[in-house]
Amino acid sequence: MVAVHALDILGDPVRRRIVELLAAGEASAGEVGRTVQAEFGISQPAVSQHLRVLREAGFARVRPQGTRRLYALEPAPLAEADAWLAAFRAFWEPPLAALGTELARGRRERRLAAEHAERGGSARPSDHDAADHGAAERTSAERAAASDNTTDKEH
């Protein structure tokens, strides 16, 4: 499996960092080496070995420019890994969407509390104030539909 092979290659933190550096654009072996050596404390030959693994696995391409070797990221193996991971996105996307909703709700509550405090009220609006605010945000069509539902229940 190509995607699993890609995950094997990217399983190494040094190689993941090199991929991050190359994602920003083409970089010389020396530039990559200095950054990786500083961050991971490994030797230049070790960095060269990681670059070779990435190149041989198809994650990076190299081109000479004078005495320098310039490396660039090859997107195809990353796209293959992404396609393989697509089957598993259902495990984390809904919880992340729910988290986004909860964060937005919290921001709204803090905004309402601040607005209420500015009007001279307490620091936290009552549930009634929040309900009134929500009602004010409804469109006239939503209010009419709500009124129709109430009328239907009364008959």
pTM: 0.58
Domain at 67, CATH number: 1.10.10.10
The C-alpha atoms of residue 106 and residue 83 are separated, in whole angstroms, by 34
The C-alpha atoms of residue 11 and residue 9 are separated, in whole angstroms, by 5
- Per-residue pLDDT at 29: 96
Angle ∠(96,99,102) on CA atoms, nearest 5:
155
CA dihedral 82, 83, 89, 93 (to 10 degrees): 70
**Average pLDDT rounded to a whole number, residues 133-143:** 48
Q: Tally the residues of the chain.
A: 155
Asked whether residue 33 is domain-assigned, the answer is yes
Token digits for 148? 């129709």
**Average pLDDT rounded to a whole number, residues 85-108:** 83
What is the domain count for the chain? 2
Asked whether the predicted pLDDT for residue 67 surpasses 70, the reply is yes
- Per-residue pLDDT at 84: 84
**Average pLDDT rounded to a whole number, residues 127-147:** 49
Instruction: Please indicate whether residue 149 or residue 9 has the higher confidence score (pLDDT).
Output: 9
Domain holding 24, by residue range, is 2-83
- Per-residue pLDDT at 88: 83
Per-residue pLDDT band at 52 (split at 50, 70, 90): very high
